[in-house]
Structure 1
Amino acid sequence: MRAYFLTAPVSSDKNYSKKTSKLVLKQLMTPLSLVSLAALSVSPAQAVMSSVEQVTIYQGLASVTRTLPISGKGEQTLIFSCLSPSIDQDSVSVQVLGNVNVGEVSIEALSGEQAAQCQYQGDAKVQAQQATLADINAELEAARLAKAYLQNLTKVTQISTDGTLANNARDLETQAASINKRILNIQQRQARAQDILNQLMAGSLTSTSNSVTQVSVRTASRMPSSVKLHYQVRGAGWEPTYQARLNTESKQLSITASAVIAQQTGENWTNVPVTLSTINPNQNTTSQLPRVPLLSLYEERQNELVRYTPAAMEATPVVVSARDSYSGGESATNTAPLPSFTVNSQNKNGITEYRLPQRISIPSDGRRVRTVIDEQSGNSKLWLRSTPSVEQTAYWYASAPFLTPAWVDGSLQLYRDDNYVGQSRYSYQSLKEQGIGFGVDPNMLVKQLTDEDKQGDKGVFNRLQTLTTKQAYQFTNQHNRGMRLQVLSAQPVSRDDSIKVIATHTPPVTKQDWNDSKGIVAWEFDLPSKQSQVVQSTYQISYPADKKLNTN
């Protein structure tokens, strides 16, 4: 770029001075915008930033593909700058398009000032405002340079005794006053632009990092092409969250699957294509060998029985955002089609990939970005379930025949008749077998009638003793319609041949060992509106008189 420097004319020829002054005065009387700013300042060369071509997010890490163009011919070194400090260096690979030779690939960590320069490089708004401020600064510098030139020219004309030049000098002073006003106006615009830039940088999506990674790739080509850089970086992940909505009147059930994405890799991913994968890269990749039993004799000893209660899975709290429906006032023929956000899912031998149709921005500050990835709906079977020996109440349940094993376990938000009733855990196997619970039904009344244990007498010649347990519960349907009711109860199970159990159920149970659960029995029946039903169980347990009964 050429640089132009303005100097005051020096000549002993008065006619030359007159012509020069008039020429300069004519130029300065034109708008200042006609003065080439490029002639007054030199713009520094800008480094080419690599573009993110694809981001695939797993659990705990992400795979990133970036692209840089190869311009020109011959040998050159491409620099992928401002990359995450958490890059797995062993995962770095380079792919070229066309007839391009690749030499060495250099990976280095940069810190200090070089890392600070990357701080706001990925923020489009900050970059645009920086460019605006640079233009204003260049315009201000040009105005100041023109003012200095006018001041020098005025001094030259004042030395001359020619009257015409004196008049020109007064005109130059008038033009200088106009430029002063212009400089003041530019300074005000500069202050406003700087304030906007400060606000953008304060609320920028970019996170500050003390270090960055830079990858240099040496190439040689005969024509323009491009280089792709692939690498993996930790600090990114996604988790599924689900919303189940049940309409108890129409028996319609819909489940919406969403992905909550967050990352703190040190890179800002702005307007990038994203694919979500259900695979967990932290899992084992090889199977274990069987354990060979080594046999030996030992003295028999009494082992203590240890009761183990599995810890309840705590559902991860997730911010729930409602999806608002949109109804356009104009006909479809008069408006452009709305963009589709339908996710393309693909199952690859047990690995499900969700390719988002829209580009999204995921800043590196840990904030959670949520997007819908799938939705299923259909007719459902409804029933009420009660386990009166544990809790004397009934719960709404619904079947979901459209459940898919491709959905990963996650938090499940529950809505019944457009009311939020709580949250559970989405687990395909469990929900497929037991159904989806939708909270307490206050219109099904459960009352305990009998719950007693009776110990039999031990005689002198009696080798057995007995324990009789009797339980009875009443269920009353307060709904204005008939309801399907399922009652679960636990029947004692003998683990010793010397313990005998005789069970009597009234009415007879519908299922023994419900859902392959040993000892759980179930009644299933339709209970008409405003009607009651009693279920009763009697268990007679006999065991040796010289033993104590362990009910664990």
Structure 2
Amino acid sequence: MHTNLSPRSLLHDKQLKTKFDALTLNSNFKLKILPLSVLYTVASGLTVFVPVTVQAANSSIEQITIYQGLASVTRALLISGTGEQTLVFSCLSPAIEPDSISVQALGNVNIGEVSIETLSGEQAAQCQYQGDANVQTQQNNLADISAELEAARLTKAYLQNLTKVTQITTAGTLANNARDLETQAASINKKIVELQKQEARAKDALNQLVAGSTTSAQNSVTQVSVRIANRSASSVKLHYQVRGASWEPTYQARLNTDSKQLNITASAIIAQQTGENWNNVPVILSTVNPNQTTTSQLPRVERLSLYEERQDKLARYAQPMMESESAPVVVSARASYGGASGADMPPLPSFTVSSQNKNGITEYRLPQRVSIPSDGRRVRTVIDEQSGTSKLWLRSTPSAEAAAYWYASAPFLTPAWANGSLQLYRDDNYVGQSQYDYQSLKEQGIGFGVDPSLLVKQLTDENKQGDKGVFNRQQTKTTTQAYQFTNQHNRSVRLQVLSAEPVSSDDSIKVTATHTPAISQKDWKDNKGMVAWEFDLPSKQSKVLQSTYQISYPADKKLNTN
């Protein structure tokens, strides 16, 4: 049986290949469909299938979830062709984790083998600027100018040849036509000169963009090929994880001491250096840290035995080593490195972030698509905001520092917010930076810096040691401390003063404490030994607090203070 291809089908094949070659050259993001079902008519009337490489539409990023140190990416591709095909996702990040790659298809689609390869050299160079919109725009502009210049040159050559032909006969109309052609050729020459200048300027602009582009140059890219078979239009999704992306929360707390209003804004700072430029993509931020330990430790079982004193010494030297060997290894992600309004105006887009708590893991879904280039630049977006009326007070620990600090309660704090840096503003003035830690801030309040209008002065700091008599079995040590607090504000303030009583860890040590005035709270915030006074201090008034501690212990012992 002869299977010679008909001339008509061969011509059709050549035209088809020419079109697809041109499309391939003009493509940037290399996501291809390779159909294996191009039909040819043979002389006997039968048909055969010949594989041909075909370029298809670009894949789109359907979703990106960013964790600490890595991101999960989902790309989608609509398929209109049918039959057996091979999809090629190229220009992907070289930092893709191969074990994380998975493929899903919608509809009646059979998925075959998935191959992963690393391409370098020319392929990587072609992908380098595929995500840079400015570079792409300038490349298209240069291509348009070059095409127009080439067309003008072809027109000039045609007119020149036509003029030579008309010069064979110089009579009448032919001579006039020749002069007209020469005039047109002169006009074309001027246009060519102008287009050459535009082309030179466009090339310079492109070179400057490429030289100053923040697109990360890379020596290799990842390519994923997926073999499928389908009978109808469908969609294929490629999922993978890639290192080099992260986000961190940051907060701004603004306190108005007059109205007692507290506002806290939570923002996310996102950066990535994966090798892929993420342009206009949907993003989810997750508070989970994939680098953390995923399993709990088992309890250590003590093995009891009798041993000699010498063995005891050896065991004491060996024990720290054993504890060190069993200590968990903690891996850190950082170590891996207002407009016009009116009825006729369309509604303004909302940038309110929606959040969802999934059993301790919070996800922030950004409502707008964002662009995050792969150059490490920091992209910041607001993810939440809370405000309300706060309880204000001044706190002083005079034994540590002769100063008082502004504090505010925040009943609306949420444990869903991850720990991060906290910028502090008091009455529209930046007063410093702290750390957002839900448990600590919930218990102790948010500090907003020193208050220079509350003066703290030490009046007394005495230590007296009791005499040791021949018949005395006890000796005593007495400490007296007194501090004065003066309110220079034009209003009353709530003052909290913290102090510490000595705590005995031995039954033979007795401690007696006397406070004037009486303290408001003992073992403040469940901290043994800490005491607190809380009172309102009127404007331009002063108050003195005094504490006396008497410690008695055996006369033949020395008192140890840690």
Q: Normalised by the size of structure 2, how large is the TM-score?
A: 0.84
Map 1:417-432 onto structure 2 (within 5 A): 417-432=427-442
Determine helix, strand or coil for the equivalent of 2:191.
helix
- The answer to whether the aligner puts 1:501 opposite 2:511 as a matched pair is yes
Deviation (angstroms), 1:378: 0.7
1:410 corresponds in structure 2 to: 420
- 2:281 — aligned with what? 272
CA distance in 1: counterparts of 2:443 and 2:212, whole angstroms: 49
What residue is the counterpart of 2:50 in the other structure? none
What is aligned with 1:157?
166
- Taking the aligned partners of 2:214 and 2:308, their CA distance within structure 1 comes to 67
Q: State the match for 1:120 in structure 2.
A: 129
Counterpart in the other structure of 1:491:
501
Counterpart of 1:355? Answer: 365
Equivalent-residue separation in structure 1 for 2:122 and 2:290 (angstroms): 35
Paired residue secondary structure (2:218): coil
Q: 2:457 maps to which residue? A: 447
Tell me, what secondary structure is at the counterpart of 1:383?
strand
TM-score (norm 1): 0.85
Q: What code does the residue aligned with 1:376 have?
A: Q
Note the alpha carbon deviations across 1:41-61, whole angstroms, 9 max, x for none.
966453443211111000010
1:391 and 2:401 aligned: yes
Question: Which has the higher mean CA deviation after the structures are superposed, 292-301 or 122-131?
Answer: 292-301
Paired residues of 1:68 and 1:80 also in contact (CA < 8 A) = no
What's the offset of the Cα at 1:368? 0.6
Match of 1:201 in 2: 210
- Residue 11 of structure 1 aligns with which residue? none
Corresponding residue for residue 560 of structure 2? 550
CA distance in 2 between counterparts of 1:197 and 1:232 reads: 33
Q: Residues 45-90 of structure 1, C-alpha deviation per residue, up to 9 Å, x if partnerless?
A: 5344321111100001000011122132212211111110000000
Note if contact 1:49-1:81 (Cα within 8 Å) is conserved in structure 2.
Answer: no
The 8 Å contact of residues 136 and 190 in structure 1, kept in 2 or not, is answered as yes
User: Which of 260, 264, 278 is the equivalent residue of 2:269?
Assistant: 260
Gaps of 5+ in 2: 1-17, 31-56, 318-337
Aligned to 1:341, which of 344, 351, 359? 351
User: Once structures 1 and 2 are overlaid, which stretch shifts more, 159-168 or 181-190?
Assistant: 159-168
Quote the residue 1:287 is aligned against: 296
Q: Residue 391 of structure 1 aligns to a residue in which SS?
A: coil
Distance 1:298 1:368, change over 3 A: farther
Cα distance in 1 for partners of 2:459, 2:354 equals 56
Using a 3 Å threshold, how does the CA distance of structure 1 residues 53 and 102 change in structure 2: closer, same or farther? same
Deviations 1:495-536 (CA, angstroms, capped at 9, x unpaired): 111111011111111111101111111011111111111111
Instruction: Using the aligned pairs only, state the percent identity.
Output: 79
Equivalent pair of 1:107/1:216 in contact (CA under 8 Å)? yes
Q: Distance in 2 between matches of 1:331 and 1:240?
A: 33
Q: Which residue of 2 aligns with 1:191?
A: 200
Moved more, 133-142 or 353-362: 133-142
Report the residue type matching 2:374 in the other structure: S
CA distance in 2, matches of 1:168, 1:525: 107
Q: 1:42 to 1:349 in 2, by over 3 A?
A: closer
Task: After TM superposition, give the deviation of residue 547 of structure 1 in Å.
Answer: 1.0
Gaps of 5+ in 1: 1-37, 305-325
Task: Give the conservation status (yes or no) of the 8 Å contact 1:75–1:218.
Answer: yes
- Cα deviation 1:444-490 (Å, max 9, x = unaligned): 11110000110110011111111100100011111111111100001
Separation in 1, partners of 2:159, 2:341 = 64
> Partner of 2:48 in structure 1?
none
Residue number in structure 2 paired with 1:241: 250
Q: How many angstroms does 1:331 deviate by?
A: 4.9
**Offset, 1:167:** 3.8
Kindly provide the CA deviation profile for residues 165-222 of structure 1, in whole angstroms up to 9, marking residues without a partner as x: 4443333222211111111122122223223323332343421111111111111112
Structure 1 residue 362 displacement after superposition: 0.6
Partners of 1:96 and 1:128 in 2: how far apart?
33
Aligned partner letter, 1:530:
K
Q: Give the aligned residue type for 2:485.
A: F
1:137 aligned partner? 146
Match for residue 81 of structure 1 among 82, 90, 109: 90
Amino acid at match of 2:505: R
Deviation at 1:103, TM superposition (A): 1.3
Deviations 1:95-115 (A, max 9, x none): 111111111111111111110
Q: Does 1:56 align with 2:65?
A: yes
CA offset digits 1:115-168 (Å, max 9, x no partner): 000011112232222122112111111111121122222333334566644443
Q: Structure 1 segments of 4 or more deviating over 6 A?
A: none
What secondary structure does 1:240 align onto? strand
Contact kept in structure 2, 1:125 and 1:200, CA below 8 Å = yes
CA distance in 2 between counterparts of 1:507 and 1:42 reads 91
1:371 matched to 2:381: yes
Equivalent of residue 234 in structure 2, options 225, 243, 247: 225
Q: Tell me which residue corresponds to 2:540.
A: 530
1:102 matched to 2:102: no
* CA drift at 1:334: 4.5
2:390 is aligned, of 370, 380, 384, to 380
User: 2:300 & 2:495 partners in 1: Cα distance?
Assistant: 48
Letter in 2 for 1:91: S
Q: Aligned AA for 1:520?
A: M
**Does the aligned pair in 2 maintain the 1:344–1:356 contact within 8 Å?**
yes
Structure 1 window deviating more from structure 2 (441-450 vs 72-81): it is 72-81
Query: What's the counterpart of residue 456 of structure 1?
Result: 466
Provide the C-alpha distance between the structure 1 equivalents of 2:534 and 2:26, rounded to a whole number of angstroms: 78
Distance 1:140 1:118, change over 3 A: same
SS at match of 1:87: coil
| Alpha-carbon separation, structure 2, partners of 1:298 and 1:380 | 63
Distance 1:539 1:456 in 2: 13
Letter paired with 2:491: R
